[in-house]
Chain A
Amino acid sequence: MEAAAQVQPQRQMRRLEPAAIAGIMSREVANFRTYWKGTTFSSVLEPIVYLLAFGLGLSATLVDEVNGVPYIEFVGTGMVATAVIFSSALPAMFGTFVKHRFQNTYDAILAAPVDVEELVSAEMLWIGIRSGTYGCIPLLVTICFGLDPAPGMLLVPLFCFVTALGFAGFGVAMAATVAKIDQFNYVTALFVTPLFLVAGTFFPIEGLPQGVQVAAQFNPLHQLVELVRGGAFGFAAVDLLRFAFLVGFALLTWRVAIHQMRKRLID
């Protein structure tokens, strides 16, 4: 046929093709170029406001130190987890829902040689990279407030990335599950807020009732907080288990997100 210059692939396509994932991520990058300034501005300003309010405010009046760590450094290292959940779970929930229901973006992408597994993986990877980067900002801000840099901090982007992957998968799965965008209120109230509050960001979980302490061990944000503090103040052997937990969390939500999205996108 005259029309078709045979540029299209002739081979059978496989699962999880890097070209498909890179193509979807290039779309995210193109969009990100249009809104990165606002996102970066709020990502820098928010930890400063939190550190001023909680760190300086509380440490001047109520709390001086926690477990031998100045309170501002305790909060500053914990804020990394806050930045990660709010820059991964929420964009994944709302972004996925909007792209699917209002913009019909996924219909366009799935008409190309891309499958749901690649689509979800690319979305998660992009959010993981972005959130892994923005998650480090509170740590940098805390260094400006007096925290001593430590070599272990170099691993913080990795910890943030893996945790963000998990919460991105959670967000995508939720977006594929809810019927209306209003139902994200339930998700936020039932999951996001409790996870955020019982992560050990603002106060140590050791002061909480025994049952809550046990439950907190299953909170990925708590594991992230402990890993970031390990990076700042010294790792312990148990941190390997914490990291393994986060990898497991990411793998679990990845598969759940793919399953839910397949149900939603393929009739």
Chain B
Amino acid sequence: MAAIELHDAVKTFGPITAVAGLDLEVPEGICLGLLGPNGAGKSTTMRLLTGQAIADSGELRVLGHELPGEAKTARGKMGVVPQLDNLDVDVTVEDNLAIFARLYRVPDVGKAVDKALNIARLQERRRDAVDELSGGMRRRLLLARGLVHEPRLVLLDEPTVGLDPQIRTELWTLIGELKARGTTILMSTHYIEEAERLADEVAVMHEGRIISRGRPVELIDEHAGHQTAEIYGPPDRLAETRAEAESRGLAVRPAGPAIAVVGSEKADGFVPDDAVVRAASLEDVFVLLTGEEAE
């Protein structure tokens, strides 16, 4: 049984189609990265899975429970780590965890709180109010709150968005530990590096659909080949080079101040000598497939 099964799920908001016939299966025990630009439908997909949004049509099943009818039972078996910090800031760290242990009907609240404090490495701060914690500690607490009932499935919605690199690395370590314990993870992100580091498989989402899916190396191999050549220079030269590359049927994408010729190993001597040649990356795949700049 897959942990998550979505078949032809559609969700619209007035004239906007956020999820457009989404098919997604997440087997138990893997970490699937849902990678897409802002507005791709990732957060709406997460809300569909928790029953906080109701699909207009399609079949949705989480841990064997049909949604939205059995969403409450399904939520009891999954943990959710939201994009936005919604901790109770005046309340202590341990009370924040205890409240959610009760909401999840955990039989031994004290033991669950101790375990979650260990995960968040906040044992020493358990009696401090949340607003006394640093940003990194708060994010760790938010993650631990979603794990307080030891769920089989965890939904991570942009877990490190807006965080500085040090805190992001801390979070990645915690998520890595969660993966190592075999918990099924669905992680939405628009950070390429996050998906590359953490996800066993990546599903690229664009305009409400999955447009490609596979292990990162498979996606790179399928869509970007082996190497990418980055060409720098004045705008006129870049425009000329781009036009020539495209006339040869090569995939070209913007790369900040440069242009990147993706799959440049097939360029048959076209690549200029001053180009920077590197291994093709998931970022190349993302930009080629979605047309959006990566972060």
Contact = CB atoms under 8 A, between A and B. Distances in A.
Contact of A111 (B80, B87, B92): B80
Contacts of B129: 34
Interface in B23-46: 28-29, 44
B102 A114 contact: no
B50 interface: yes
A108 B182 contact: no
A112 to B, nearest CB: 4
Nearest to B68: A266
B14 to A, nearest CB: 11
Contacts of B152: 1, 3-4, 8
Given A23-B99, A23-B102, A265-B52, A31 B84 contact: no
Interface residues of A, number: 37
Contacts of B87: 108
A107 B13 contact: no
Nearest to B91: A30
B82 A19 contact: no
Contacts of A108: 82, 86-87, 100, 145
Given A2-B181, A26-B99, A115-B72, A7 B149 contact: yes
Contact of B86 (A2, A12, A13, A107): A107
B151 interface: yes
Contact of A8 (B80, B86, B149, B178): B149
B183 A3 contact: yes
A114 B99 contact: no
B5 to A, nearest CB: 17
A31 B54 contact: no
A110 interface: yes
A35 B88 CA distance: 13
B1 to A, nearest CB: 12
A5 B79 CA distance: 13
Given A1-B183, A3-B182, A110 B52 contact: yes
Given A30-B95, A113-B73, A1 B28 contact: yes
A24 interface: yes
B105 A9 contact: yes
B54 A9 contact: no
B99 A13 contact: no
A8 B103 contact: no
Given A1-B183, A111-B75, A266-B54, A104 B91 contact: no
Interface residues of B, number: 50
From A34, A115, A265, name the one whose CB has the most chain B CB atoms within 10 angstroms: A34
B98 interface: yes
Given A30-B95, A30-B99, A111-B52, A7 B88 contact: no
A115 to B, nearest CB: 6
B104 interface: yes
A267 interface: yes
Contacts of A4: 150-152, 183
B86 A267 contact: no
A23 B97 CA distance: 11
Given A23-B103, A109-B103, A113-B76, A31 B88 contact: yes
B243 interface: no
B88 A12 contact: no
B53 A112 contact: no
A152 B144 CA distance: 50
Given A8-B149, A13-B72, A30-B95, A266 B182 contact: no
B128 to A, nearest CB: 13
B64 to A, nearest CB: 11
Contact of B103 (A7, A113, A265): A113
From A2, A8, A9, A34, name the one whose CB has the most chain B CB atoms within 10 angstroms: A8
B213 interface: no
B106 A7 contact: yes
Nearest to A19: B105
Interface of A: 1-5, 7-9, 11-13, 19-20, 22-24, 26-27, 30-31, 34-35, 103-105, 107-115, 265-267
Interface of B: 11, 13, 28-29, 44, 47, 50-54, 70, 72-73, 75-77, 80, 82, 84, 86-88, 90-92, 95, 98-100, 102-108, 112, 129, 145-146, 149-152, 178, 181-184
14 contacts: A3-B150, A3-B178, A7-B107, A8-B151, A9-B73, A30-B92, A34-B90, A34-B91, A34-B129, A107-B82, A110-B50, A115-B72, A267-B13, A267-B47
